[in-house]
Amino acid sequence: MIVREIDTKNPLTKSDLPVSDYSLNPYVGCEHGCKYCYACFMKRFTNHEEPWGEFLDVKFWKPLSHPERYRGKEVFLGSVTDPYQPAEEKYRRTRAVLEELRGSGVKLSIATKSDLILRDLDLIQSFPGARISWSINTLDENFKDDMDRAAPISRRLAAMKAFHDAGVRTTCFISPIFPGITDVPAIIGRVKGDCNLIWLENLNLRGTFKPVILKYIREKRPDLVPLYEDISARKQRLLAGARRGASRICGSERAPLCHQRRFDEPPVRRSARCRQLLLSQRDQTLRTRKAESPMRALCFILNTMRDINARLCVT
């Protein structure tokens, strides 16, 4: 692992993501080295020659001036890195920025695969309405170890429960779903008492990690090779048909955003068929944006995912 310390003017950057006004990534790169990580596109902007997961830039900045100017703004930690990856235990950059933002009135969201976040539970509780999500796409620790170097699933689940028990809103992000491997009902059954929201995301076989995933399936799950080859080779679906189908199932009404629901309500459930149609719409439109930058494409994906989850909120 190649680790560098770098200076940055401000760790907060204006964001077009649907979940935030500002993105906050205390690190560039990620030690977890997830084989399916979409954030590997960041190498195009950072000039790193090392493989994704083999480098880490640690950001340092001068104290934030007037953090109260961010009052009421959505701040999302972890859009292209894990703010609680192992290096955080030493460098404490995530904790440093949280301490600077404490009392500023920001609306905080954090995404992680780590239980190191438990260290900052008291600090995070000082942010009213904070939302924390853990990525969990399997209950099989062996499969997890094949895919990433993050904390064991058991520790992620324990951290989620601890935050939920402490009154902090929690999300289980079942992502990505590996067909034939990810047991979605089992995961939901395991987490439904410890989270306020369950998000689902399909496996996108594209980009530099596509051959990595297909190679893994050939070597470890040869019985699934035909399925994954079919997924990989699937032709474009008709956008108009997907829209008509989604309209028939969803209707014209949009549900309220899930994080506005009462804390004690059960986790949101999703309509799988409706989600499939909406994801088809997203994939079709994304393919028309090949000439656009990776960041614009990422913004489009996340905008669509928020739209899907908002439209499918049901109790």
pLDDT number for residue 314:
32
pLDDT digits (tens, 9 = 90+) for 27-76: 988 888 888 877 555 555 567 666 765 678 899 999 998 999 999 999 99
Is residue 194 scored above 90 in pLDDT?
A: yes
Which of 37-46, 194-203, 278-287 has the least mean pLDDT? 278-287
Contact 258, 131 (CB under 8 A): no
Is residue 178 scored above 60 in pLDDT?
A: yes
Quote the pTM value: 0.75
Radius of gyration of the chain (CA): 19
Residue 44 per-residue DSSP state:
H
pLDDT number for residue 43:
56
pLDDT digits (tens, 9 = 90+) for 209-266: 888 999 999 999 999 999 998 888 773 332 233 333 333 433 333 334 455 566 666 6
- Please report where in the chains the tokens 């008509």 appear, as a residue: 244
Domain segments of the chain as ranges: 204-233, 235-315
Which of 49-63, 118-132, 182-196, 247-261 has the least mean pLDDT? 247-261
In the chain, at which residue ranges do the beta strands (DSSP E only) sit? 2-7, 12-14, 22-24, 27-28, 55-60, 74-77, 107-112, 131-135, 169-177, 197-202
List the end-to-end C-alpha distance of the chain, in Å, as a whole number: 45
